[in-house]
Structure 1
């Protein structure tokens, strides 16, 4: 774990020194803290503030230094009103920052670039140093190339280290260069589960003995999983995280807080996954984007900690900044079960009780902006999909919903296919050159590929080509298998949402046991995988004797990390890909994840359903989403007997009896001690360069970012906010995600990024993913808007009304290329060469999904000056400002459709010269017929500090200038 050099404000200079009090632990030890009950003597309304607001208030109170945090900030937040106008800006100083490697590597590249700038300017590079602890968990780089075998993990990790050697060497440099930067190596788990089980300490203590609660921001939108243990924290882009690391408070507008009251209890057979999909659906309908959600009530008190963490995890899916659960006895139980020390737990409990923050409030005890209520007894088994996590479907309606969407138009979330083709099936013809005899679950590794870590060291070159066929062959014996619409081709127990939750993982193991004993099997061409969030999962699945049954059905351990949910599912067989694309099939993935956006799971699978781990196993057995698992058999068992889901579904009591195996404090301590004592031979062999400033290599993975190319210590004129003569790069619809803008998954050979990699000597087999190459801006700017499913509505529809997919546009400037269709990257280079600015228009929820700073960085590098949308998701809006791109929001019912835009117009953007937060701006639209129209929109620079960031050219030069001038 990274350590902090931070000290507390000196009480003598503190504006609220009288609030510095003492508390006692159960063992009689004393500690100091800035007391909210003491502050409430001056501001009585503090007692009725939501718990989450009070924890933020503690940070504002403790860090009140009269400069960045003032007494007025304390007063404003202490007077938080449930329905007051939101105009006050909160400077929130967090305790620490957590990173995952896809976002952590570009952040580290930015820090390294800042040190390079410091060295060039004759300044001490050590001025660039994180001021709070920063932990990077390497969890996004594992890919499911091998699966279904007991050595799949071993083989997948060898490939991971070969592909990512340059990135890992860079991390090793960071570990020695920055004193407050720590790395949890590959193979330990998913960042959010590692955060829950290990990194979160409950309370921290300064050298002066002042205790304060754990708070953080993370460079993954699902950082909110930590809300389940009462930690205030959420996801931000890497550019915001850098500012937090380097001494800037996290600035945000005082939020609304929606109270979510849970009553009753879950029924038999209903899982925590079903609950979170229901909560996601409800809160999306209540439009909680940018708001805190805080859970309270008797039903909340009954929820086990992992269930709370599951709900907190999906805050990005329901749009909230947080899904917060207060600390109570269940939190203490979890800390004990995960191996925290007695002293830590005592200090944690005593601190929260002294602050009056211990316990889940009941109805009427806290003032909320609004209250939403859910009776847990009404929750039913559910999935979500096929394209968005908020689109919940009751289990009994999945088949009918798929059938309904099959022929609906794209605009209605459908697949636009002729209904008569729904049930057609196609033979998968196997090539004669295949030499592997076994089905994927039982096949050996390809010829030349090592079978163990020991062989890895002597056989590195073989892996460069072996992985293309690693899990991509069909059995050569027996009749040709067939594939059709609705077939499940990927079934993955994966993702941070559920793999922190023993109840659903044990349920999956129990279902697998009953299924195997009943004689059920999974078809060999279905790609099955188990990728838990922590090594502890396989410990308790082994101890309970359930892992062999999961393996029997193909759910062998494939990796510890974020796999299928982030787009690291690996490829399907060439035969399956050919059958899908050649017959235009709508095939499915079923995964226990939180994201199912288009092309995220696999570019050829257009229907993706989120489900609990036991339902993932059930659908793998069923093999299709066209089967109604509530009324039809899951499959044929021994003797051809029909086996129904009810025959193999475990009871709550069966799950409960095994829960004791999942919470073993000693096992947790021993596991996480290995982060520093035994990180693994593959990690130990990685060697990084030394020194305070980084020596930039020639690499297609790591490159010095261009964001400081024209940096000067003295800030010049403020960035011009007016945009004149801009061309429209794209017209987008609703729900354009950061995956659409900056994909994380596979790189097509014919895409601009794929072409660039090949020109630089990289073979297609070694492309890796966009996520893994985020340390190289040449790849990432070419990957911006490169999602294979994105639809630029500037492109006219085809005769059947469908829209072309892929990151293309129509070039509009006069000349020989006018009207030509080309990749957005190529058009951007043409416009920039002609010094023509560009803008984007979009619909609702622009930028939903991951906290992906490259979605904003890539937008800026393509020369796009403004994005005009019906609404923005919180993180992406902030990231656009942080990169110097203007976010503008339509008013009322206005939209680019209502304005009749076609893409050939020119646009002037005229904001208020002072860039007053949320002020009016004017769009001047000039059409090809010579007419013009003015439209008033809202400038979505929301706070005064964002004005400073924008005028400085972005948050990165703003922070760098402050550090070097200090």
Structure 2
């Protein structure tokens, strides 16, 4: 590794408690007139710190520092930034080739007579195995165990290779199967907010990952995004990523969510707005007093969907909520104190009194105007008010084939098909028509990382069971949390048994349905769909819904909050007006409406108190590596 030059004499000492660290002080550039950095976007300041700290006169020069220090949002220069992230995250599909290449480098070193053990990642690398589990078994108390056994059987060779890699390479850690989803594990456990190295430097946590939804970590104030395998390997071996200086779009948030509206609804609205604006190749940075009213999991949900709204990042600056989340999720007092001290010393800690950064483009949203929503039937940006879904779905049936149309003839609208299905030793007759939900999945780190929507799903299930409701027999249901923490707090809250009662038992800890690993639908259901040429629907809490992605037999795929996934599994169709039509009948024959089973703010508050407890996170992540 080339020696750092510290040409701007920015290296200084930061004291945190009884410890001292070296850090590269951004304000030195301001004081010496190198650049006017006070009103730079927070995300650009963090890139600038990385360039300043790693300046070595070779791949990162003083000109690179000066260029970024003089970032002007009104007059962006088409110059390249050499960025060296602090670490890399991988998942098992895209990460395996990177480990293969490292092994090949060792073989080459051996053939050349060198020492193969010198080939190692130069920075920390974490690979989380999450992309291989499939929902083969569901609505079964042993579903998680059975699906895991099938997963290990299918992937034994790959897993043995990764186990070898963990033992063979320095700076390389593998989080085993059935542990969680990479982005949620990163958010809840791996990320610390700051990094230190053998030279006793302290600096912001940053990363790249071989998965597009790496951006979820932006909700924690960590700069990071998804890259290709070759770029990730270069970073692992100490090389910078070269990128054009990005435009940063400012997204001003005000107000707070109304009663009954979820973070998922907010995220779908943000996605809709940013797709309309056009932010491909740009950073989006959120600011405004609305951030103070948002929990960190709410922020992470929005950041997660940056690929869907087209941005490189969806960044939330570090603030008091960040520190609270780090403490609540089991990070040590020492680690949290270091994050606070560092970010405040560098002028990159947001408060309500902080001056707004300067952006060339600003978009605004009053959060209180957001309403309950879904997105679909084929694209995540096509948001629909929940109250309009029945109307919009029926319109889509005869609309021309395209993002919002299936091109049916009027004579095909009445298509129906029937069949029989066996569940739990009983045989059920069923009939399918257009819009019937055959797949309902609480899936994906996008939403399972957020206790508010997961607990809401549990409360909906509890009230549904108490009213005597059950899921329709033709609906394949699944709950695949992004970490074991979710199962633990749902169990502690007494809600998991109610989810299991209506078919939403835990099927595994991984991406599952969100990436198309929904597993096969029951054969009688597939037969009915094909014979009746039914436009079958899915309800998913994932982040993508392109036709054919979740399952080859569902054409109308709607993204939504987990409690709505439960509601649509109970209703069995998207062709329903939840405001005016009952979701089902209670055990005593009375109509039950969505409002009858929807969580109140008081119910949510009572359950949320117990969800983010450090002891839960420490217990569930203990020994995970």
- Fold in common (TM above 0.5): yes
* Pairing partner for 1:417 from 405, 408, 411: 408
For structure 1, the residue ranges without an aligned partner over 5 or more in a row are 1-5, 431-437, 444-474, 677-966
Equivalent of residue 571 in structure 2, options 607, 622, 631: 622
Is 1:142 the equivalent of 2:91? Answer: no
- Single out whichever of 164-173 and 652-661 deviates more from structure 2: 652-661
RMSD between aligned alpha carbons?
1.6
Partner of 1:15: 7
- Contact kept, 8 Å, 1:244 with 1:250, in 2: the verdict is yes
**Partner residue, 1:175:** 166
| Equivalent-residue separation in structure 1 for 2:605 and 2:448 (angstroms) | 17
Pick aligned residue for 1:54 from 35, 45, 52: 45
Partners of 2:465 and 2:501 within 8 A in 1: yes
* Structure 2 contact 456–599 (Cα < 8 Å) conserved: yes
- CA deviation profile, 1:885-906 (whole Å, cap 9, x unmatched): xxxxxxxxxxxxxxxxxxxxxx
Count of matched residue positions in the alignment of Structure 1 and Structure 2: 624
Alignment of 1:276-295 (within 5 A): 276-295=267-286
1:500 paired residue among 449, 465, 470: 449
Which of 50, 58, 63 aligns to 1:67? It is 58
Alignment partner of 1:47: what SS? coil
Change (3 A) 1:490 1:664: same
Q: Deviations over 1:205-250 (max 9, x none)?
A: 1222210110000111111110011000001111211111112101
2:390 paired residue number:
399
Q: Which residue of 1 aligns with 2:245?
A: 254
Distance in 1, matches of 2:247 and 2:353, equals 19
What SS does structure 2 have at the residue aligned with 1:554?
A: coil
Alignment equivalent of 2:74, drawn from 60, 69, 83? 83
The answer on whether the counterparts of 1:296 and 1:360 sit within 8 Å (CA) in structure 2 is: no
CA distance in 2, matches of 1:324, 1:262: 13
Give CA-to-partner distance per residue, 1:172-192, whole Å, 9 cap, x none: 121122111110001111111
The aligned runs of 1:205-216 (5 Å cut-off) are: 205-216=196-207
Query: Could you say which residue in structure 2 is the equivalent of 1:564?
Result: 513
Partner of residue 88, structure 2: 97
Q: Quote the residue 2:533 is aligned against.
A: 584
- Per the alignment, residue 752 of structure 1 pairs with none
Contact preservation (8 Å) 2:179, 2:483: yes
Q: Secondary structure at the match of 2:458?
A: helix
Query: Alpha-carbon deviation of 1:531?
Result: 0.5
Tell me what 1:856 maps to: none
Higher relative contact order (CA 8 A, sep 6+): 2
Please give the residue correspondences for 1:180-199 in structure 2 after superposition, counting only pairs within 5 Å: 180-199=171-190
Partner of 2:21: 31
The change in CA–CA distance for 1:582 and 1:363 in structure 2 (over 3 A counts) is farther
**How far did residue 9 of structure 1 move?**
4.6
**Offset, 1:384:** 0.5
Residues 496, 263 of structure 1: CA spacing in aligned structure 2 closer, same or farther, 3 A cutoff?
same
In structure 2, what is the equivalent of residue 201 of structure 1? 192
Query: CA 1:273–1:412 in 2, change beyond 3 Å: closer, same or farther?
Result: closer
Q: Give unmatched runs, 5+ long, in structure 2.
A: none
Q: Does the CA contact (< 8 Å) of 1:325 and 1:360 recur in 2?
A: no
Q: 1:339 to 1:481 in 2, by over 3 A?
A: same
Distance 2:77 2:582 in 1: 54
How far apart are residue 533 of structure 1 and its match?
0.8
CA deviation map 1:62-116 (0-9, x unaligned)? 0000001000000000000112234110000010000111111122223333434
The Cα shift of 1:516 comes to: 0.8
Deviation at 1:24, TM superposition (A): 2.5
3-state SS of paired residue (1:482)? strand
1:390 aligns with 2:339: no
Preserved contact between residue 297 and residue 363 of structure 1 (Cα < 8 Å): no
Deviation string 1:422-442 (CA, Å, 9 cap, x unpaired) is 233211256xxxxxxx51xx3
**TM-score scaled by structure 2?**
0.97
Helix, strand or coil for the counterpart of 2:159? Answer: helix
C-alpha spacing 1:75/1:385, structure 2 compared with 1 (3 Å): same
Quote the Cα distance in structure 2 between the aligned partners of 1:122 and 1:408: 67
Change in 2 beyond 3 A, CA 1:28/1:119 = closer
In the aligned structure 2, how far is the partner of 1:180 from the partner of 1:206? 12
2:214 and 2:304 in contact (8 A); partners too: yes
Cα distance in 2 for residues equivalent to 1:365 and 1:603: 47
Q: TM-score by structure 1 length?
A: 0.63
Residue 358 of structure 2: which of 367, 371, 375 is its match?
367
Deviations 1:342-387, CA, capped at 9 Å, x for gaps: 1111111100110011114668531112110000011000000111
Q: How big is each residue's C-alpha offset from its partner over 1:14-55, in whole Å with a ceiling of 9 and x where there is no partner?
A: 212x21112222x34332210011221123511110000000
Q: Does 1:426 align with 2:417?
A: yes
Residues 1:40 and 2:42 aligned together: no
Q: Aligned residue for 1:861?
A: none
* 2:585 corresponds to 1:636: yes
The equivalent of 1:532 in structure 2 is 481
Q: In structure 2, how many angstroms separate the alpha carbons of the residues matched to 1:509 and 1:141?
A: 26
Q: Does 1:352 align with 2:301?
A: no
Cα separation, 1, equivalents of 2:342 and 2:397: 55
Which has the larger Rg? 1
Q: Distance in 2 between matches of 1:35 and 1:241?
A: 28
Q: What does residue 655 of structure 1 align with?
A: 604
Q: Is the 8 A contact 2:376 2:404 kept in 1?
A: no
SS at match of 1:620: helix
Q: 1:377 aligns with which of 368, 376, 383?
A: 368
Does residue 597 in structure 1 map to residue 570 in structure 2?
A: no
Task: Measure how far apart 1:527 and its partner are.
Answer: 0.5
Deviations 1:805-835 (A, max 9, x none): xxxxxxxxxxxxxxxxxxxxxxxxxxxxxxx
The 3 A distance-change label for structure 1 pair 418 and 114 is: farther
Are positions 1:606 and 2:555 aligned together?
yes
Deviations 1:536-579 (A, max 9, x none): 11111111111111011100011111110011111001221122
**Matched-pair contact (CA < 8 Å) for 2:379–2:403:** no
Q: How far did residue 598 of structure 1 move?
A: 1.7
Instruction: Map residues 681-696 of structure 1 onto 2, 5 A cutoff.
Output: none
Q: 1:583 and 1:360, CA in 2 relative to 1: closer, same or farther beyond 3 A?
A: farther
In structure 2, do the counterparts of structure 1 residues 623 and 251 end up closer, same or farther at CA, with 3 Å as the change threshold? same
SS at match of 2:448: coil
Q: Distance in 2 between matches of 1:149 and 1:575?
A: 19
1:234 partnered with 2:225: yes
Trace 1:123-138 onto structure 2 (pairs within 5 A).
123-126=114-117, 128-138=119-129
Other structure's SS at 1:582 match = helix
Q: Secondary structure at the match of 2:524?
A: helix
Distance of aligned partners of 1:590 and 1:362 in 2 relative to their CA distance in 1, 3 Å threshold: farther
- Of the candidates 331, 345, 348, which is equivalent to residue 340 of structure 1? 331
**1:455 aligns to what?**
none
The 1-side partners of 2:188 and 2:201 are apart by 24
Distance across 1 between alignment mates of 2:403 and 2:179: 41
Distance 2:459 2:127 in 1: 34
Distance 1:396 1:422 in 2: 22
